[in-house]
């Protein structure tokens, strides 16, 4: 069964740090771009970051640049999100997701597998 | 950044109704558009990609169309399990952005 399982969420004070993990199973993790998406309470979806198969390309939403780092360990089938200098507005459910690639070009088409999410609360 | 605007924000329908959600991009995104369905407390589910391609396992009552800046998601005959929130998302360039969502409610 194709599965993504996030962990590492919790309550952290403003300015603090947290590292989220996402364990992948049921597919060849190293072949796919991976993504973090977040959803603040009662709000819509916000893309956070993407990472290429070998980790050489990374992209971030402006609001987290310089504070968050996406990484992966293909040997461990794991995706990570290191979050530093956390702010109240980072409070959200964080989802990891696998990207569906276009077969011929490799272009990304959408996120076809999602984890259940892990909750991050930034509050004093 | 490319802004994605969905309309309406809320939509009501009866089981059996045909409903359409619109998504507009602030600039051309060619056909790099995906649609997701999300139910309360659950992760989103991919419905459509490349504007009009149906994801495997998604019922054929869902269809998508459009290119450039205007896109639609249509449900041909609403079923009870379709009441949820729907999001469009572009993949044309970074940053990737989502629409604000359309909540589909039972009338």
Kindly report, residue by residue over B77-97, the tens digit of the pLDDT.
Answer: 999 999 999 999 999 999 999
Average pLDDT, stretch B67-78? 98
Regions of chain A where pLDDT drops below 50 = none
Rounded Cα distance between A120 and A10, Å, is: 5
Q: Can you give the pLDDT at residue A74?
A: 98
Residue A13 has a CB neighbour count (10 Å cut-off) of 10
Out of A44, A95, A114, closest to residue B87 by CB? A44
Residue A124 has a CB neighbour count (10 Å cut-off) of 9
Q: Can you give the pLDDT at residue B74?
A: 98
Chain B residues inside the 8 Å CB shell of A62? 1, 95
Q: Can you give the pLDDT at residue B25?
A: 98
Q: Can you give the pLDDT at residue A29?
A: 98
User: What would the DSSP string read from start to end of B17-80?
Assistant: --EEEEEEESS--TT-EEEEEE-TTS--EEEEETTTEEPTT--TTEEEEEETTEEEEEESS--G
Name the nearest CA neighbour of A6 among A21, A24, A19, A18. A21
Residue of B43, B52, B86 to mutate, testing the A interface (most A Cβ within 10 Å of its Cβ): B43
Are A7 and A21 within 8 A, CB to CB? yes
Out of A44, A61, A100, closest to residue B49 by CB? A100
Residues B20-66 have pLDDT tens digits of: 999 999 999 999 999 999 999 999 999 999 999 999 999 999 999 99
Residue of A43, A49, A68, A111 to mutate, testing the B interface (most B Cβ within 10 Å of its Cβ): A111
Name the nearest CA neighbour of B90 among B37, B33, B20. B33
Residues A80-90 have pLDDT tens digits of: 999 999 999 99
Q: Can you give the pLDDT at residue B6?
A: 98
Q: Can you give the pLDDT at residue A103?
A: 87
């Amino acid at each position: 069964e194709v599965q993504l399982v996030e962990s590492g969420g919790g309550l952290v004070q403003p300015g603090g740090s947290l590292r989220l993990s996402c364990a992948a199973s049921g597919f060849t993790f190293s072949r796919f771009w991976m993504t973090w998406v977040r959803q603040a309470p009662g709000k819509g979806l916000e893309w956070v970051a993407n990472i290429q198969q070998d980790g050489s390309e990374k992209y971030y939403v402006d609001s987290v640049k310089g504070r968050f780092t996406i990484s992966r360990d293909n040997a461990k089938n794991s995706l990570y999100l290191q979050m530093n200098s956390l702010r109240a507005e980072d409070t959200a459910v964080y989802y990891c997701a696998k990207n569906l690639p276009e077969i011929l070009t490799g272009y990304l088409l959408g996120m076809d597998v999602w984890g259940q999410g892990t909750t991050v609360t930034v509050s004093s | 950044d490319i802004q994605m605007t969905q309309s309406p924000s809320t939509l009501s329908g009866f089981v059996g109704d045909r409903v359409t959600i619109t998504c507009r991009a602030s600039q051309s995104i060619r056909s790099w558009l995906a649609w997701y369905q999300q139910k309360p407390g659950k992760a989103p589910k991919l419905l459509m990609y490349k504007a009009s391609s149906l994801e495997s396992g998604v019922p054929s009552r869902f269809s998508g169309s459009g290119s450039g800046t205007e896109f639609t998601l249509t449900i041909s005959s609403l079923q009870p399990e379709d009441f949820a929130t729907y999001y469009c998302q572009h993949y044309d360039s970074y940053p990737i952005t989502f629409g604000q969502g359309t909540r589909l409610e039972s009338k």
